[in-house]
Structure 1
């Protein structure tokens, strides 16, 4: 079971990139982030964090390796995806359960950024949003995608 998720938070450690071979197909690429999703509540002259939490975030995408060089510890991000129950065993063989976020999109927010630069558009670059269509089968042509 999963639940739609949108959250804003800070990356807590260096991104982790992994590549997995799958037969003769193109390898699958995974970007893992550890994100602290805070809950800022206005207080006298500032904000107080109430009820924030850490969550592992996974993004499977062909550009994951490149994105692992863009994301940095401390960077503010907006994550859209779904939460998924993740069952595993610790080093002492105890059953553990956590929730992770399987991201569909991760956006960099401008907090603390000093500058932004763009590379030249290449002829093989996919148009914006095409990765979502390819991976989910959704098309936004003609209005909103059906749920």
Structure 2
């Protein structure tokens, strides 16, 4: 069972990159982020967090290794994807259930960013056609 998810939060630890063999095809690449989705409520002194939660965010993509250096601990992100129920056993063989987010997109929000450097477009890149 899954459901659509859109949330804004902060990356809580360094991104974790993994690569999985896929037979003779290109390996599958995973970038896992640990994100705290907060619930900021305005107060007269600024904002107060009223009940956020931590969730693992998984981004499966061929560019995942490159993005590992892009996403950083503390960065504010907007995550779009779906929530997925994840069943597993702990070290004592107890059954556990958690929820994770399989992201379609993870956008970087401009909070706490000091600079941005754009790479040039490549004519051979179908995602960025030359103008």
Q: CA 1:62/1:124 → structure 2, altered by over 3 Å: closer, same or farther?
A: farther
Q: What is the alpha-carbon distance in structure 2 between the residues aligned to residue 63 and residue 124 of structure 1?
A: 16
The equivalent of 1:145 in structure 2 is none
Q: Following TM superposition, by how much is the alpha carbon of 1:51 offset from its aligned partner in structure 2, in angstroms?
A: 1.3
Q: Following TM superposition, by how much is the alpha carbon of 1:126 offset from its aligned partner in structure 2, in angstroms?
A: 3.2
The equivalent of 1:122 in structure 2 is 122
Matched, 1:22 2:46: no
- Alpha-carbon displacement from aligned partner over 1:69-117 (angstroms, at most 9, x marks no partner): 1000000000000000001111111111100000000000000000000
The equivalent of 1:62 in structure 2 is 62
Q: What is the alpha-carbon distance in structure 2 between the residues aligned to residue 120 and residue 27 of structure 1?
A: 27
Q: TM-score, normalised by structure 2?
A: 0.94
The structure in which a higher percent of residues are strand is 2
Question: Which runs of 5 or more structure 2 residues have no equivalent in the other structure?
Answer: none
Q: What is the alpha-carbon distance in structure 1 between the residues aligned to residue 23 and residue 33 of structure 2?
A: 26
Alignment RMSD (CA, Å) = 1.0
Matched, 1:73 2:39: no
The equivalent of 1:44 in structure 2 is 44
The equivalent of 1:11 in structure 2 is 11
Q: What is the alpha-carbon distance in structure 2 between the residues aligned to residue 66 and residue 124 of structure 1?
A: 18
Question: Which runs of 5 or more structure 1 residues have no equivalent in the other structure?
Answer: 129-147
Q: What is the alpha-carbon distance in structure 2 between the residues aligned to residue 125 and residue 19 of structure 1?
A: 23
The structure in which a higher percent of residues are helix is 1
Runs of 4+ residues deviating >2 angstroms: 122-126
Q: What is the alpha-carbon distance in structure 1 between the residues aligned to residue 127 and residue 53 of structure 2?
A: 34
Q: TM-score, normalised by structure 1?
A: 0.84
> 1:85-96 alignment to 2 at 5 Å?
85-96=85-96
Q: What is the alpha-carbon distance in structure 2 between the residues aligned to residue 127 and residue 70 of structure 1?
A: 18
